[in-house]
Amino acid sequence: MMKMHIPHDTPSHDARQDARPFSQILDRLRGAGLRPTRQRMALAKLLFEGGDRHLTAEMLHADAQSANVRVSLATVYNTLHQFHRAGLLREIVVDSQRTYFDTNMSDHHHFYFDQSGELADIPGDQVEVAALPAAPDGMEVSRVDVVVRVRPQGA
Partner DNA sequence: TGTCAAGTTTAGAATTACTATAATCTGATG
Partner DNA sequence: CATCAGATTATAGTAATTCTAAACTTGACA
Is 90 a binding residue for DNA by CB under 7 A? The answer is: no
Is 23 a binding residue for DNA by CB under 7 A? The answer is: no
Residues in contact with 86: Cβ distance below 8 Å, sequence separation at least 6, in sequence order: 32, 33, 34
Q: According to CB under 7 A, which one of 28, 81, 84, 108 is a site residue for DNA?
A: 81
**Looking at 13-21, 52-60, 108-116, 128-136, which segment touches DNA (CB under 7 A)?**
52-60
Is 62 a binding residue for DNA by CB under 7 A? The answer is: no
Q: Name which of 3 and 16 has its Cβ closer to DNA.
A: 3
Is 77 a binding residue for DNA by CB under 7 A? The answer is: yes
Q: Name which of 107 and 118 has its Cβ closer to DNA.
A: 118
Note the residues at the interface with its own copies (CB under 8 A): 93-99, 111, 113-114, 120, 122-123, 126-133, 135-136, 138-155
Cα dihedral 46/50/56/61 (nearest 10):
-30
Angle among Cα 103, 81, 138 to the nearest 5 degrees reads: 95
Q: Which of 141, 50, 140, 152 is nearest to 101 (CA)?
A: 50
Q: Tell me how far apart the terminal alpha carbons of the chain are, to the nearest angstrom.
A: 58
Q: Name which of 68 and 126 has its Cβ closer to DNA.
A: 68
Q: Which of 104, 87, 75 is nearest to 33 (CA)?
A: 87
Is 3 a binding residue for DNA by CB under 7 A? The answer is: no
**Binds 81: which of DNA, its own copies, none (CB < 5-8 Å by kind):** DNA
32-56: b or e for each residue (b if 16 or more CB lie within 10 Å)? Answer: bebebeebbbbbbbbbbeeeebbbb
Query: What is the contact surface with DNA in residues (CB under 7 A)?
Result: 34-40, 56-58, 70-75, 77-79, 81, 96-99
